[in-house]
Structure 1
Amino acid sequence: MAESFGADAELYDRARPRYPTDLIEAIAASAPGVAVLDVGCGTGIVARQFQAVGGRVLGVEVDERMAAFARATGVEVEVSAFESWEPAGRTFDVLVAGMTWHWIDPSVGAAKAAEVLGPGGRFAVFWYVLQPPPELGAAFAAVHREVLPDSPVNSQVAASPLGAYEHFLDRAADSLTATGAFTDLERPTYPWTCHYTRDEWLDQLRTSGLAKPLADAGKLDKMLKLTGAAIDAAGGSFTLDSTAVALTATRT
């Protein structure tokens, strides 16, 4: 699934939210230098945000289609799975991963992070949590239950998504701790607000990890139709008052 997002790299880059400026600036300010390794850089969304605050970014991306898009926007990218990527002796001041660290084998990823970060280097992985208004979130949950009746986790995520990310944070923290190479583990959160029209939300849904299995099962069109109808019933647009969650740590 991690290699499915490049099917429409332009849509992915256009539809995916950007990360809160406060998050990007805080990570950059805490790093001992400007050399940034962006794991799973995709189309370069995170990389460009770090470039904007002075970062010198190298991306690692498993999908050549996504990497090609990122290169066209000015991001240097090497194509590889992070677990098998060869750093060739290079070290970095900060390792970041936006919405991608859950695709990385936790123990291998943590060990490689320890390898490529210099002393005092910063580890920072983060996810944005899309939290629709309560009534619309309940409507989205009802859509998920109708389209995916045998998947209770998906309906719970649609209604209350924040808890779904705790597993990612726990797993990443446990793997870092197991290396014995990191200290100062913290879980900062950053509020952010974004307004969505109906079509913008459906485009975002088309780029989600759920889209490919839905399409493979012949259910994506139904999900989009019912979700669009729920947004229409709510006035055709809505505002997300959401949260970005992170795990940060320092290389000893």
Structure 2
Amino acid sequence: MEYFENRERAESFGEVAADYDAYRPKYPAALISTVMQAAEAGAGSGSGSGAPRILDVGSGTGLLASQLKDAGAEVLAVEPDSEMAAIARAKDLKVEVSVFEDWDPQGRIFDLVCFGQSFHWVDPIIALPKIRSVLKAGGSLALAWNDIEPRGELKTRLDAITARFHAEGSAASLGTAGAEDNFAHVEHPALTQLRGAGFTPDEATFTEDLRFSRHDWLSMVFTYSAQLTMDPVKRAVMREEMSKVIPNNGLKARNEALLVLAHA
């Protein structure tokens, strides 16, 4: 089953909207800068105010959208979950509540369309032609994912716990065989989809070292759909087992954020 077909997982985030916003990390500054450069190139010199127009699809609580807005973009967010959208609106973001496949662009055109941790939740057969239709000539598509893993021996212990509770392999978040916090370094399946739709994609990775308290790490891990759709008792046991192996002073982690930047 493709991710976008699993509606239980796709629609599971609203129940933890506040935790999602509080504990999901921001995107690396260098990634934001690269996206803004592409958006500004798409806007060109005749864009009026000069602010590039960005459509952020599957915006969630506006984590990516707010970073792009702070960087100077004019952002419209599209988000299917009303509880997630409410948090994004509280950040003074413009949000329209809809699944992207059903969303009406009303003739609006954008310099860049972006997906932050969300492209795997849309049907590419429907979404990619729609993206092309709302992109200005010379515009870009940006797909971003944070990929955060603990460092050192602790990673092995936490991965073993995850594997026991997700033996069916349902913990992936990027459309790969890896666990949600363990991206497998193979070609991302989105690249094939993009090429098939007439886009020319390029990949870039942005690495940053992070530190988490035990509480913050666990709170982040349990905002992912694989955990949200678990049996509540199993989920509580998994969280307790993870808590026991994380030191009192927290853990070090590395984010190898992936950006796929594509041009039609």
Counterpart of 2:184 in structure 1 is: 163
Structure 1 residues not aligned, in runs of 5+: none
2:260 corresponds to: 247
2:147–2:181: 8 Å Cα contact kept in structure 1?
A: no
User: For residue 53 of structure 2, what is the aligned residue in structure 1?
Assistant: 35
- Equivalent of residue 99 in structure 2, options 78, 81, 94: 81
% identity of equivalent residues: 33
SS at match of 2:183: helix
- Counterpart CA distance in 2 for 1:90 and 1:135 is 50
State the distance in 2 between where 1:81 and 1:36 align. 17
- What letter is aligned with 1:151? E
For the pair 1:106 / 2:119, whether they are aligned, the reply is: no
1:222 aligns with 2:230: no
Q: 1:152 to 1:43 in 2, by over 3 A?
A: closer
Task: Report which of the two has the higher share of helix.
Answer: 1
Partner Cα distance (1:65, 1:15) in 2: 16
Residue of structure 2 in register with 1:191 after alignment: 207
CA contact (8 A) 1:137 1:159 kept: no
1:163 CA drift (Å): 0.6
| 1:200 match | 216
Q: Residues 177-210 of structure 1, C-alpha deviation per residue, up to 9 Å, x if partnerless?
A: 2222x23x20011112211010001110121122
Deviations along 1:20-59, one digit per CA (max 9) or x if unpaired, are: 0100111111222210000000111111000111000000
1:48 to 2:48 alignment = no
Secondary structure in structure 1 of the residue aligned to 2:83 = helix
Instruction: Using structure 2 for the length normalisation, give the TM-score.
Output: 0.86
Q: Structure 2: where are the runs of 5+ without partners? A: 1-8, 44-51
3-state secondary structure, aligned to 2:146: strand
1:218 CA drift (Å): 2.7
Contact 2:147 2:258 (C-alpha < 8 Å) held by counterparts: yes
Asked if the contact 2:209–2:252 (Cα under 8 Å) also holds between the matched residues in 1, the reply is yes
Q: Are the equivalent residues in 1 in contact too, given 2:169–2:179 (CA < 8 A)?
A: no
Contact 2:148 / 2:181 at 8 angstroms: preserved in 1? Answer: no
What CA distance in whole angstroms lies between the structure 1 residues aligned with 2:163 and 2:191?
Answer: 32
Please give the alpha-carbon distance, in whole angstroms, between the structure 1 residues aligned to 2:118 and 2:181.
20
Q: Which residue of 2 aligns with 1:151?
A: 168
C-alpha displacement at 1:248, in angstroms? 0.8
Shift of 1:134: 3.2
2 CA distance for matches of 1:85 and 1:225? 40
Q: 1:23 aligns with which of 25, 28, 31?
A: 31
2:155 aligned residue (137, 151, 156): 137
Give the ranges of 4+ consecutive aligned residues of structure 1 lying more than 4 Å apart after TM superposition. Answer: 152-156
CA distance in 1, matches of 2:214, 2:197: 45
Corresponding residue for residue 13 of structure 1? 21
RMSD: 2.0
TM-score normalised to structure 1 length? 0.89
Q: Secondary structure at the match of 1:36?
A: strand
Query: Residues 210 and 175 from structure 1, CA distance in 2 versus in 1: closer, same or farther, beyond 3 angstroms?
Result: same
Q: How does 1:118-129 map to 2 (within 5 A)?
A: 118-129=136-147
